[in-house]
Amino acid sequence: MATIVRRPPPIEPIIQQLQNILPQLREEYDVEWLGVFGSYVRNEQHAESDIDILVSFRSTPGLLKYISLEQYLSDLLGMRVDLVMESALKPEIGARIRTEVHYL
């Protein structure tokens, strides 16, 4: 019996979806900007990969708003989203992420 291999989606439609909803995210979640980083940007994603999204807010959100945004993006994209606040990055990790992030 053949094994079905599930391929992860390419990054281009993900970027397009995020760009399309960015005005709404600015309005509803006070998002300043978004960026994608990690395995999708490096083209190393696999079927179980999540999508790593770096976010900057105009003002620091409460925990519920942050979790709500992460869940909204997961539902929209149909995959697990790892939402990372730019302001919470540690210097050494932040420097590495900033070299590969695809800003929207």
Catalytic residue ranges: 50, 52
Sign of CA dihedral 34, 80, 63, 37: negative
- Asked if 41 contacts 11 with a C-beta cutoff of 8 angstroms, the reply is yes
- To the nearest 10°, report the CA torsion of 58, 31, 103, 49: 130
